Chain A
Amino acid sequence: MGKVKPKRKSTLIDMTAMSDVTVLLLTFFMLTSTFLQKEPVTVLTPSSVSELKVPVTNLTTVLVSPEGKVFLSVSGDADSTYSSEKVRAEVLQTAVAEYNKTHSNKIQLTPAQVAKFSKMNMFGYRLADLPAYLDKEQFQQDELLSDPNNPLAGIPIDDNKDLNKPNEFQIWMRAIYNSSNPHMEQSIKSGEGIAVKADKDTPYETVHNILDNLQTLKMNKFSLMTALKTEND
């Protein structure tokens, strides 16, 4: 019996076409998508038919977690004189100075802490505990911010109406408004500078508190972040 030797076939598959497809896909993803901003809580915004785009520069985002915690994110001007980092550092210093005026426990920040703060996309921590928070490692900070049981996370807010004794949220917002970046003030006045972002299932009562504070601050015009839907939904 003669052995039948199977003919050896080459197993080479031409991957060129596959490679073409993947490169195309990659290009598509790179061009159409934007990077996710790191946020301490994930919120699903409600949808509306409004087609106004969120501005990229000179925007203060007020993120409201379902538990009512408030986080802020400040972006600066496209012009590097008022870049996000510079604006954040300035806002922090103004806010701390304002806080020290009305509180007996004074806050001292080192330049390293300010530099660290200016690199954070989103912040929200009790001012009194901010220096200790800034000294921590990145992953510890993230854990502290996203822990719903941490009473120190989130900017403290109440229904204070007296701007001579502002609460911390009011201190922050005023510091942002008064920053030396003139475009920020303009955009807040025109109603494009502040965007409130809240989850669709959050009770209105929770968000109302924030809207009420903005009204007290006379920042009556602002925008609400939504996703897009059509009129038929």
Chain B
Amino acid sequence: MAQIEQSDGGKKKKGAQKKMQIHVDFTPMVDMNMLLITFFMLCTTMIKSQTLNIALPSNEKVEQEQQNKAKESQAVTLILDTERDEEGNVKYDAETGKPAHMIYYYLGKPDVADEDKDGLIDNSNLKVEKFIGNQNGEVQGIRKILHDKNKTVLEKIAVLKQDWKDKKISDDEYQARAKEIRNDSLIQDRPVVIIKAGPNASWESLIGALDEMQINQISRYQIDNINATDSALIFDYLAKNPRK
């Protein structure tokens, strides 16, 4: 392991100190370290889980009069669905490589009138969007729809954010004031989003929808169960626009 070498093969003057070179072989040490690294890499995780807080309404029956009714002009209903194959595995979008989540949405009340009685809804206001996120700094997909709905709040928060970036206000102050703006009842056009998830919708799409609420600073949203009207709307949509 450790070797001591004498230099100058014996040709030395008397009295001169012997020069010693010490070699310590570090190979076993490196071996051991590598083993330890392998152990740590296999047994530990670098991903720290984050959490998303939600509050669901209580399950108790609420009297009709006590229910909060959202104004029609403010209501946005999202119906989540995920394309799955016969075995129930999530399909992936061929272009983007992302899971094929479909977000059906309508603004205000659903339009289900069928005047000519052909079994199809005449003017369905149901549209479909996807989770795309931002592209080139521009909001896309469903985010654009929600963004446009909550413009006033987002504009106010953008001003606040600039102040915060310029270090004019502290973190806490920024959070508190952003919350105030989100919940400001004087802003008339704050949307109320109702998130409904179909039976096939994957957990990821629900989280994605909740995430959009956070990104778009929407304070009023709720998770609801899908009802017969919603199913009929989607059925109608798929009859008109069959999936490839």
Complex Cα–Cα for A37 and B42 (A): 12
**Binding site secondary structure of chain A:** mixed
- Docked-complex contact A224 and B54, CB < 8 angstroms: yes
The verdict on A105 contacting chain B, using a C-beta distance below 8 Å, is: no
- Docked-complex contact B203 and A204, CB < 8 angstroms: yes
Complex interface bits, A207-233 against B, C-beta within 8 A gives 1, otherwise 0: 110011011101011111111100111
The verdict on A50 contacting chain B, using a C-beta distance below 8 Å, is: yes
The verdict on B201 contacting chain A, using a C-beta distance below 8 Å, is: yes
Complex Cα–Cα for A23 and B197 (A): 50
Q: Knowing A50-B214, A200-B202, A203-B202 touch, does A226 contact B37 (C-beta < 8 A)?
A: no
Residues of A within 8 A of B198 (CB): 204
Residues of A within 8 A of B37 (CB): 22, 25-26, 29
The verdict on B55 contacting chain A, using a C-beta distance below 8 Å, is: yes
Which one of A29, A53, A195, A204 lies within 8 Å of B40 (CB-CB)? A29
Residues of B within 8 A of A211 (CB): 56
Q: Knowing A48-B52, A216-B59, A220-B57 touch, does A15 contact B80 (C-beta < 8 A)?
A: no
Complex Cα–Cα for A225 and B48 (A): 10
Interface residues of A in 94-125 (CB under 8 A from B): none
Complex Cα–Cα for A90 and B27 (A): 51
The verdict on A165 contacting chain B, using a C-beta distance below 8 Å, is: no
Give B218 Cβ to nearest chain A Cβ, in Å. 13
Complex Cα–Cα for A45 and B48 (A): 11
Interface residues of A in 40-69 (CB under 8 A from B): 45-54
The verdict on B211 contacting chain A, using a C-beta distance below 8 Å, is: yes
Which one of A35, A231, A232 lies within 8 Å of B44 (CB-CB)? A35
- Docked-complex contact B44 and A34, CB < 8 angstroms: yes
Complex Cα–Cα for A199 and B52 (A): 15
The verdict on B89 contacting chain A, using a C-beta distance below 8 Å, is: yes
Residues of B within 8 A of A12 (CB): 3, 23, 25
Complex Cα–Cα for A98 and B133 (A): 48
Q: Knowing A36-B44, A203-B199 touch, does A221 contact B55 (C-beta < 8 A)?
A: yes
The verdict on A167 contacting chain B, using a C-beta distance below 8 Å, is: no
Interface residues on A, range: 35 or more
Chain A CB count within 10 A is highest, among B80, B207, B208, for B207
- Docked-complex contact B40 and A226, CB < 8 angstroms: no
B81 closest partner in A (C-beta):
A204
The verdict on A33 contacting chain B, using a C-beta distance below 8 Å, is: yes
The verdict on A130 contacting chain B, using a C-beta distance below 8 Å, is: no
Complex interface bits, A6-24 against B, C-beta within 8 A gives 1, otherwise 0: 0000001011101100110
- Docked-complex contact A46 and B208, CB < 8 angstroms: yes
The verdict on A136 contacting chain B, using a C-beta distance below 8 Å, is: no
Complex Cα–Cα for A49 and B134 (A): 13
Complex Cα–Cα for A51 and B200 (A): 28
The verdict on B30 contacting chain A, using a C-beta distance below 8 Å, is: yes
The verdict on B188 contacting chain A, using a C-beta distance below 8 Å, is: no
Question: Which 8 pairs across A and B sit closest by C-beta, in order of nearness?
Answer: A15-B26, A22-B33, A33-B44, A200-B204, A223-B51, A46-B204, A204-B197, A29-B40
Given pairs A204-B206, A211-B56, A212-B59, 7 additional interface contacts (CB within 8 A): A16-B24, A34-B45, A45-B49, A52-B52, A52-B53, A191-B55, A201-B90
Residues of B whose CB lies within 8 Å of any CB of A are: 3, 23-27, 29-30, 33-34, 36-37, 40-41, 43-59, 80, 82, 88-90, 99, 133-134, 197-208, 210-211, 214-215
Residues of A whose CB lies within 8 Å of any CB of B are: 12, 14-16, 18-19, 22-23, 25-26, 29-30, 32-36, 45-54, 161, 191-192, 195, 197-205, 207-208, 211-212, 214-216, 218, 220-228, 231-233
